[in-house]
């Protein structure tokens, strides 16, 4: 095996590693559907938030009344591709996150239920669906957990 092939193989393994580690645990949550928030729903307690965080990628963090995950994508075009994929999922489930693409490759998604100004089951369902989307990360990407 030549060095060029090994570089490509290790990049592929790096790319798929987060998806492999989180796919099995989150497949049940990602398969669920969001329910319309036509009436004010129950906002999760801090304990419920911690329980639900364990069902999605550990890269998500609870910040105030929302959950947030950030990535460093390879370039602007990859960031836009990912945001388009997020928007398709959000439209499908009718639950819309706040998205931020700054400095051309820093991307963050924040999720909360706008109608109740807090976290509900819908937020974690959407997060699990976002976790299942492919994303091309920059070599400069650092895990929040490192």
- Span 47-84, pLDDT tens digits: 999 999 999 999 999 999 999 999 999 999 999 999 99
- What is the rounded CA–CA span in Å between residue 98 and residue 93? 15
Q: Residue 112's pLDDT band (boundaries 50, 70, 90)? A: very high
- Spatial neighbors of 12 by CB under 8 A, at least 6 apart, are none
- Spatial neighbors of 90 by CB under 8 A, at least 6 apart, are 96, 97, 126
- What is the rounded CA–CA span in Å between residue 126 and residue 97? 8
Q: Residue 31's pLDDT band (boundaries 50, 70, 90)? A: low
Q: How far is CA 62 from CA 47, 109, 124, in A?
A: 12, 12, 11
DSSP 8-state class, residue 121: H
3-state secondary structure of 67: strand
- Higher pLDDT: 96 or 38? It is 96
Q: Tell me the longest C-alpha to C-alpha distance in the chain.
A: 60
pTM value? 0.77
């Amino acid at each position: 095996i030549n060095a060029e092939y090994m570089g490509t193989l290790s990049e592929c393994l790096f790319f798929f590693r987060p998806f492999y580690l989180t796919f099995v645990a989150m497949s049940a949550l990602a398969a669920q559907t969001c329910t319309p928030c036509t009436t004010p729903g129950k906002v999760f307690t801090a304990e419920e938030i911690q329980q639900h965080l364990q069902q999605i990628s550990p890269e998500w963090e609870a910040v105030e009344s929302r959950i947030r995950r950030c990535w460093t994508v390879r370039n602007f075009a990859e960031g836009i591709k990912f945001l388009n994929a997020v928007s398709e999922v959000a439209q499908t489930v009718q639950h819309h996150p706040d998205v931020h693409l700054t400095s051309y490759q820093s991307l963050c998604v924040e999720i909360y239920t706008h109608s109740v100004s807090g976290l509900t089951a819908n937020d974690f369902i959407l997060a699990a669906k976002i976790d299942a989307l492919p994303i091309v990360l920059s070599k400069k990407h650092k895990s929040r957990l490192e």
